[in-house]
Amino acid sequence: MLYREAGQFKTSYAADQALLPILQDRIGLLVILVVAFVFIPLFGGEFFVGSVMIPFLVFALAAIGLNILTGYAGQLSLGTGAFMGVGAYSCYKLVTYFPDVNVIILILVSGVFSALIGVVFGLPSLRIKGLYLAITTLAAQFFLEWCFIRIEWLYNYNDSGAIEVPQRMLFNVAVTGASASHITRYLVVLAIVALLTLVAANVLRGRIGRSWMMIRDMDIAAELMGIRPLYAKLSAFAFSSYYCGVAGALLVFMWLGSAEVEVFDINHSFLILFMVIIGGMGSLTGCFFGAAFIWILPIIIRTVPAMMGLDIVAATVEHIVNIVIGVLIIFFLIVEPHGLARLWQIAKEKLRTWPFPYSS
Amino acid sequence: MEILTSIVITPFVEMFAYPDFLIQVVWEGFVAGVLYSLIALGFVLIYKASGVFNFAQGIMVVFAALVLVSLYSMGLPAWLAVLLSLGVMGILAIGIERFVLRKLVNQHEAILLMATIGLTLVLKGVGQLLFGGEPKPMITEELGLPTGSTDWIVFDGIVIFQHIDIAATVIALLMVCALAVFFSKTRIGRALRAVADDHQAALSVGISLHQIWAIVWFASGIVALVTGIMWGARSEVSFALEIIALKALAVLILGGFTSIPGAIVGGLIIGIGEKLFEVYWGALLGSGVEAWFAYVLALIFLLFRPQGLFGERIIERV
Task: Quote the number of domains for chain A.
Answer: 1
Which structural domain, as residue segments, surrounds residue A29? Answer: 22-353
Measured between CB atoms, does B292 come within 8 Å of chain A?
yes
Nearest to B100 among A124, A273, A330 (CB): A330
CB atoms within 10 A of CB A355: 6
Give the residue on B whose Cα is nearest the Cα of A220.
Answer: B318
Residues of A in contact with B315 (CB under 8 A): 128, 132
pLDDT of residue B318: 41
Residue A164: phi and psi, rounded to 5, are: -105, 135
Q: Which amino acid is at A66?
A: L
Inside any domain, residue A1? no
**3 state DSSP class of B123:** helix
A170 beta partners:
A173
- Mean per-residue pLDDT, A329-340: 83
pLDDT of residue A127: 76
Distance of alpha carbon B6 from alpha carbon B14, whole angstroms: 11
Nearest to B119 among A127, A139, A326 (CB): A326
Which pLDDT tens digit goes with each residue over A237-278?
999 999 999 999 999 888 888 888 888 888 889 889 988 988
Which of B110, B214, B73, B148 is closest to A333 using CA atoms?
Answer: B110
Which pLDDT tens digit goes with each residue over A305-316?
777 766 667 777
Measured between CB atoms, does A35 come within 8 Å of chain B?
no
- CB–CB contact A136 B295 (8 Å): yes
For each of chain B's 318 residues, which pLDDT tens digit applies?
777 777 777 777 777 777 778 888 888 888 888 888 888 888 888 887 777 888 888 888 888 888 888 888 888 888 888 899 899 999 998 998 888 888 887 777 777 888 888 898 899 888 888 887 777 777 777 777 777 777 777 777 777 788 888 888 888 888 888 888 888 888 888 888 888 777 788 889 888 888 888 888 898 898 888 888 888 887 778 887 777 778 888 888 887 777 788 888 888 888 898 888 888 877 777 777 777 888 888 888 877 776 666 655 554 444
Distance of alpha carbon A129 from alpha carbon B306, whole angstroms: 10
Inside any domain, residue A94? yes
pLDDT of residue B317: 42
Distance of alpha carbon B255 from alpha carbon B231, whole angstroms: 21
Instruction: Give the CA diameter of chain B.
Output: 68
Cβ atoms of residues A84 and A62 within 8 Å: yes
Inside any domain, residue A15? no
Q: A34: which residues sit within 8 A by CB, 6+ positions away?
A: none
Above 80 in pLDDT, residue A176?
no
- Mean per-residue pLDDT, A17-38: 86
Residues of A in contact with B55 (CB under 8 A): none
- CB–CB contact B306 A132 (8 Å): yes
Distance of alpha carbon B103 from alpha carbon B169, whole angstroms: 38
Measured between CB atoms, does A147 come within 8 Å of chain B?
no
Q: What is the pTM of this model?
A: 0.86
Residue A258: phi and psi, rounded to 5, are: -150, 155
Which pLDDT tens digit goes with each residue over A40-56?
888 878 888 888 889 99
- Mean per-residue pLDDT, A151-165: 78
Which pLDDT tens digit goes with each residue over A244-253?
999 999 998 8
Return the C-alpha torsion angle A135, A140, A141, A144, nearest 10.
160
Residue A99: CATH number of its domain: 1.10.3470
- CB–CB contact A146 B249 (8 Å): no
Residue B52: phi and psi, rounded to 5, are: -95, 130
Distance of alpha carbon B264 from alpha carbon B176, whole angstroms: 9
Residues of B in contact with A127 (CB under 8 A): 302-303, 306, 317-318
Please state whether the peptide bond connecting residue A55 to the residue before it is cis, i.e. omega within 30 degrees of 0: no
Nearest to B315 among A128, A138, A143 (CB): A128
Report chain A's mean pLDDT, rounded to a whole number: 85
Inside any domain, residue A214? yes
Q: B66: which residues sit within 8 A by CB, 6+ positions away?
A: B127, B130, B131, B136, B228, B237
- CB–CB contact A127 B318 (8 Å): yes
Inside any domain, residue A7? no
Question: Which DSSP state fits A309?
Answer: T
What is the band of A201 on the pLDDT scale with cuts at 50, 70, 90? very high
| C-alpha separations of B228 from A259, B57, B90, B94, B268 in Å | 34, 11, 16, 20, 18
pLDDT of residue A203: 93
DSSP H or E run through A360: none
pLDDT of residue A154: 78
Distance of alpha carbon B65 from alpha carbon B128, whole angstroms: 13
- The answer, yes or no, to whether ipTM is higher than 0.85 is no
**DSSP assignments along A152-200, one per residue:** GGGGTT-TT--EEPPPEEETTEEEESTTS-HHHHHHHHHHHHHHHHHHH
Which pLDDT tens digit goes with each residue over A67-103?
999 889 888 888 899 999 999 999 988 988 888 888 8
CB atoms within 10 A of CB A314: 7
Return the C-alpha torsion angle A266, A270, A275, A276, nearest 10.
110
Question: Which DSSP state fits B134?
Answer: S
Distance of alpha carbon B273 from alpha carbon B252, whole angstroms: 15
